[in-house]
Structure 1
Amino acid sequence: MKKFISILFISVYLFSFQEFRQVFKLPTLVEHIVKHRIENGEFSLVNFLNHHYFSGNVMDNDYAQDQKLPFKQIDFTQFSTIVFVVESNNVLKIETPKRLFTENKNFFIYKNNFISEFQHSIFQPPEILM
């Protein structure tokens, strides 16, 4: 199940980009190459790419089909957002929150001049420094 969900999310993410959506047009590309090979037996893949992609937009008798090939047209999908800016003379006042808890400011401080009776023994009880 995790694998399926992962593949689903990756697919949705990749197909949100324009360039990856062009993969759906690959069957049209193959059909168009086959059509040119039937018309001219010496028409190679390099000739096809040169004629359709590197020569600019050539206006020939199959121009409409040429525009359906992948990466020939870029479709921009835009999301429109509308932002309203409202001017107002009202000033937003933010009050400081009331403290629910009080801080205990008793700090333990080490005193150098403190000499304990238990310092000379190995086992010592816990010390409270004030």
Structure 2
Amino acid sequence: MKKALHLLLLSFYLLSCTELHELTKLPVLFQHYFEHKSLDKDITFLTYLEHHYNDVPHTDNDKERDDQLPFKTHELFASIVISPALPVSFEVIPKKAYKILPKQKIPINNDHIPNSAFAGKIWQPPKAILS
């Protein structure tokens, strides 16, 4: 039962928030192929796909029907979603929040630098412990 619920929720999410909803237009793809097949008996499915999905614009004068094919148009579903947490008229206007600081001299204190004899002992290779 849990697995079926998970699959149902996942399919709802994928169909509504991704481009997988275009797969619901697959019957239109096949119907349009058979329309072309009735006009030209020699056309293959791969030729039909190349004719409709390559970069060269085709000239069969059915642009409105071609736009119904899957993955031919792009829709922005993310921009349609409205958050219930914010009112519709909510607008964020960022303000420039910077302050120009005057140049200051930073005193350098060299007291934290260890003397060279002590610092040299850090970089010695490890020594074997003899017992």
Q: Name the TM-score, length of structure 1 as normaliser.
A: 0.57
1:15 counterpart residue number: 15
1:113 counterpart residue number: none
Looking at structure 1, the residues matched to 12 and 92 of structure 2 have their Cα atoms a distance apart, in angstroms, of 31
Runs of 4+ in 1 over 4 A off after TM superposition: 83-87
SS of the residue 2:16 aligns to: coil
- Is the radius of gyration larger for structure 1 or structure 2? 1
Q: Kindly indicate whether residue 9 of structure 2 is the aligned counterpart of residue 5 of structure 1.
A: no
CA contact (8 A) 1:18 1:75 kept: no
Q: 1:59 to 1:75 in 2, by over 3 A?
A: farther
2:26 counterpart residue number: 26
- Superposed displacement of residue 3, structure 1: 2.6
CA contact (8 A) 1:26 1:70 kept: yes
Instruction: Map 1:1-130; keep pairs closer than 5 Å.
Output: 1-77=1-77, 78=79, 79=81, 82-84=90-92
Cα RMSD over matched residues?
Answer: 2.4
Q: Which amino acid aligns with 1:73?
A: T
Q: Which amino acid aligns with 2:35?
A: K
Looking at structure 1, the residues matched to 59 and 18 of structure 2 have their Cα atoms a distance apart, in angstroms, of 25
Looking at structure 2, the residues matched to 6 and 56 of structure 1 have their Cα atoms a distance apart, in angstroms, of 42
CA contact (8 A) 1:14 1:20 kept: yes
Task: Determine what percentage of the aligned residue pairs are the same residue.
Answer: 31
Looking at structure 1, the residues matched to 76 and 9 of structure 2 have their Cα atoms a distance apart, in angstroms, of 22
Looking at structure 1, the residues matched to 72 and 92 of structure 2 have their Cα atoms a distance apart, in angstroms, of 38
- Superposed displacement of residue 18, structure 1: 3.4
Looking at structure 2, the residues matched to 30 and 49 of structure 1 have their Cα atoms a distance apart, in angstroms, of 10
Looking at structure 2, the residues matched to 71 and 8 of structure 1 have their Cα atoms a distance apart, in angstroms, of 23
